[in-house]
Amino acid sequence: MAPALELLPKAEDIQALPSKAVNAISNAINGNGAVQFESAEKHQRVLNVFRAFIADLVQQYGDGHPGAPMGMAAIGIALWKYVMKYSPTNCNYFNRDRFVLSNGHACLWQYLFMHLVGVKSMTLDQLKSYHSTDPGSLCPGHPEIENEGVEVTTGPLGQGLANAVGLAMATKNLAATYNKPGHEVVNNMTWCMVGDACLQEGVGLEALSLAGHWRLNNLCVIFDNNNVTCDGTADVANTEDINTKMRATGFEVVDVYDGDSDVVAIVNALNSARHATKPTFINIRTTIGVGSKQAGTADAHGAALGVDEVAKIKRAFGLNPEEHFHIPQDVYDFFADVPSRGKTHEAEWHAAVAKYREAEPVLADEFDLRVAGKMPADWTKCIPAKEDLPTNPTASRKSAFVVTDKLGQNVKNFLVGTADLTPSVNVAYKNKVDFQSPDLKTVCGQTGNYAGRYIHYGIREHAMCSISNGLAAFNKGTFVPITSTYLVFHLYAAAAVRMAALQGLHQIHIATHDSIGVGENGPTHQPIAVPALYRAMPNMLFLRPCDAEETVGAYIAAIEHDTTPSVLALSRQNLTQFPEHSSREGVKKGAYVFVEEEDFDVTLMSVGSEMAYTMAARELLASEGIKARVLSFPCARLFEQQSREYKQSVLKSRAGKPAVAIEAYPSLGWERYADASISQNQWGKSLPCKEVYEHFGFSGPSIAEKVRGFVEEVKREGIESLRGDFRELNGGPSLGVEHPNVH
């Protein structure tokens, strides 16, 4: 048991004492089981070997990042030898402490510690494959989730920090849901290493605000404060008072002044986080590239130090400059106790779960399912049948709610969040409980607790999606985050959603206020061009359903593709329902025949809110003797996964008849399936929904007129005239603006 908090001196005060004098106090701070520190001399020996090895690794191919791994060596000893609870021989055991390297370019640091503590896959040869031509390397230039011992893929700065907030939330939510007095089956910490960049990037700042608000006292952010960025000293672009700022953001702040070598001070600071009532920010002063002539400068950041310099470093460290990639046995011995301690952690957890099963058999079964990353088998009961869907005009944001409501109420895997658009995005399921710190009740009257699964992210779309990556990465399937905002604000979040697609994380993004149909809010809120990004992105589903049935189909596809993030683009405005044409099975194939027509003159393909205009145009064309078949195209990516036979049966391209795509988004991509398009290749306008569509030529009559002209032209000139001459019936991609800035 940890000692009572108020009896402990603050880690901050202890820093003032020489490290040898503080062991007794440290042992108190370090709580359950006093830490048995090795000598300062031994620590220095390990630091020297570690730093020389890093210098060797980067020198090998003359490229990489040596500075931060060398500077952070003492922090690494503190974490991997003394502080973190983990099991190097079973990196994925459920209740492990999570570690995130948000400054991912420092990955060699993590790789080398993984090797030293005995992660099996991280062999000496693997370490040496960093920056090599080996496509099977487990040591890529930034940490990747696929590899043993890596919790999340990091690299784009700030993302890892927000991911860590998600990982800490995951623990809080599970603990509040399943732990019972005397039975803690989830209680891991999340440790996140950051550099200057993560504290400058907006996504990091957003996530820190939330961590402070939520009082995530199981999160410890460790700042490698080396005061150096690529452009020079960090004060070239940053002179803020970070400690004061972090305190104002809701963090405990602890300083460590000698981060280059004072392992004991670092351990004390880190372990103080285990007793904090808030998240902890440890500000550790280090020297980038310490020991090299480039020490303390930007030159140490992203380039090899030089052959001679590496030799010099080794000599200064008392090592043999002729020996490369050398780890003496005594350094291995230093870490030798880690695997057995890891096995003890595992065994303790298994024992706790066994005891829990006796006390709470029902909850334990559910907990098992969560650990296995599974949903309850009857989740499909949350999906409404076609006959239960509305037939009157209904916005797809409302149609989606029918599913969200049931999932939110019944399936604990789903954490449903919004970037402050509860009144608009329709994700607030019945009887929702907010995810909040219970302390907030007295602070400001906010209700909720950590078992709550409705998340108010504030106006922070980027953090929302990046935190969701952390939630999804906690343990595959344990959480399936649902986010919500307007589609246009997904551009704020795109860098995070991209990381989900890259990592194969399962999550569902409810993106409402799709298309120019947004209306009066105007062009700033009309998400022109956003779909192109997600449609081009590998391992991403961008689904744009045309009515309630298709919306249900899109939701099913998003749930079933469990290594792919999905974006559901949903309308603000009411949509005509097509119960006789639309099909959830069709959605799962990406595109399908909506209305067949024998002996047709033209194929019209449409999607989302433009389907109603397309169907209206079909009627008008029919009255003029032009027969149009209609395809619905909610997701081109899914269509591309179908057989060539299926695709041809839908497209009928070889029938020698033209095809026109109709969508109020840029035409980019439609050229694959159509000969012409009626597209929105310019910015939108502030007008009510119906008028903005009409203004830009999206109405039954306007579409019919353009299609008629095109069909007649093709009849006149022959289908072959279309080759390499895609027609923009609504105006092509534009340059310039109507009223350039007049100031």
Say if residue 301 carries a ligand binding annotation. yes
> How far apart are the C-alpha atoms of 100 and 83, rounded to whole Å?
14
Q: What is the DSSP string of 154-212?
A: --STTHHHHHHHHHHHHHHHHHHHH-BTTB-S----EEEEE-TGGGTSHHHHHHHHHHH
Residue 77 or residue 234: which is nearer to a copy of itself going by CB?
Answer: 234
**Contact flag: residue 556 with a copy of itself (CB under 8 A):** no
Say if residue 155 carries a ligand binding annotation. yes
384, 425 contact by CB (below 8 A)? no
Residue 77 or residue 464: which is nearer to a copy of itself going by CB?
Answer: 464
Which residues between 463 and 482 bind a copy of itself (CB under 8 A)?
A: 463, 472-476
Which helix (H) or strand (E) is 37 found in, with range? none
The 24-53 site mask, x for binding a copy of itself (CB under 8 A), equals ------------------------------
CB-based burial label for 469 (10 Å; 0-12, 13-18, 19+): buried
Single out the residue of 21, 248, 307, 359 in contact with a copy of itself (rule: CB under 8 A).
248
> How far apart are the C-alpha atoms of 564 and 704, rounded to whole Å?
38
> How far apart are the C-alpha atoms of 718 and 715, rounded to whole Å?
6
Residue 268 or residue 484: which is nearer to a copy of itself going by CB?
Answer: 484
Single out the residue of 672, 701, 712, 717 in contact with a copy of itself (rule: CB under 8 A).
672
Structure tokens belonging to residue 19: 């490290």
Among the residue ranges 11-19, 194-202, 262-270, 399-407, the one whose residues contact a copy of itself (CB under 8 A): 194-202
Say if residue 731 carries a ligand binding annotation. no
Supply the minimum distance, in Å, between the C-beta of residue 512 and a copy of itself: 13
244, 272 contact by CB (below 8 A)? no
Residue 482 phi/psi, 5-degree rounding, is: -115, 125
Which residues between 485 and 544 bind a copy of itself (CB under 8 A)?
A: 488-489, 491-492, 494-495, 498-499, 501-505, 519-525, 528-533, 535-539, 541
Q: What is the DSSP string of 577-636?
A: --TTT--HHHHHTS-EEEE--TT-SEEEEE-GGGHHHHHHHHHHHHHTT--EEEEE-S-H
Single out the residue of 56, 97, 144, 255 in contact with a copy of itself (rule: CB under 8 A).
144
CA-to-CA dists, residue 133 to 104, 138, 139, 153, 695, angstroms: 20, 12, 11, 20, 55
> How far apart are the C-alpha atoms of 255 and 272, rounded to whole Å?
11
Say if residue 489 carries a ligand binding annotation. yes
Say if residue 513 carries a ligand binding annotation. yes
In angstroms, what is the C-alpha Rg of the chain? 29
Residue 45 or residue 432: which is nearer to a copy of itself going by CB?
Answer: 432
> How far apart are the C-alpha atoms of 161 and 194, rounded to whole Å?
7
User: Of 461, 549, 550, 663, which one is the catalytic site residue?
Assistant: 461
Among the residue ranges 146-154, 326-334, 361-369, 573-581, the one whose residues contact a copy of itself (CB under 8 A): 146-154
**Contact flag: residue 97 with a copy of itself (CB under 8 A):** no
Which residues between 604 and 643 bind a copy of itself (CB under 8 A)?
A: 636-638, 640-641
The 706-735 site mask, x for binding a copy of itself (CB under 8 A), equals --------------xx-xxxx-----xxxx
> How far apart are the C-alpha atoms of 219 and 211, rounded to whole Å?
8
Terminus-to-terminus CA distance in the chain, angstroms?
Answer: 68
**Contact flag: residue 456 with a copy of itself (CB under 8 A):** yes
Which residues between 416 and 445 bind a copy of itself (CB under 8 A)?
A: 418, 420-424, 434, 440, 443-445
Sequence-ordered list of residues with C-beta below 8 angstroms from that of 164, at least 6 positions apart, any chain: 98, 100, 102, 190, 191, 192, 207, 219, 221, 470
**Contact flag: residue 350 with a copy of itself (CB under 8 A):** no
Say if residue 228 carries a ligand binding annotation. yes
Supply the minimum distance, in Å, between the C-beta of residue 692 and a copy of itself: 9
Residue 92 or residue 320: which is nearer to a copy of itself going by CB?
Answer: 92
Supply the minimum distance, in Å, between the C-beta of residue 70 and a copy of itself: 18
Which residues between 290 and 319 bind a copy of itself (CB under 8 A)?
A: 298, 302
Q: Is 366 a catalytic residue?
A: no
**Contact flag: residue 146 with a copy of itself (CB under 8 A):** yes
Single out the residue of 15, 26, 137, 287 in contact with a copy of itself (rule: CB under 8 A).
137
The Cα diameter of the chain in Å comes to 95
Single out the residue of 10, 180, 695, 715 in contact with a copy of itself (rule: CB under 8 A).
695
Instruction: Return the active site residues.
Output: 461
**Residues annotated within a binding site for substrate:** 65, 301, 397, 424, 513, 525, 572
**Residues annotated within a binding site for thiamine diphosphate:** 105, 155-157, 226, 301, 489
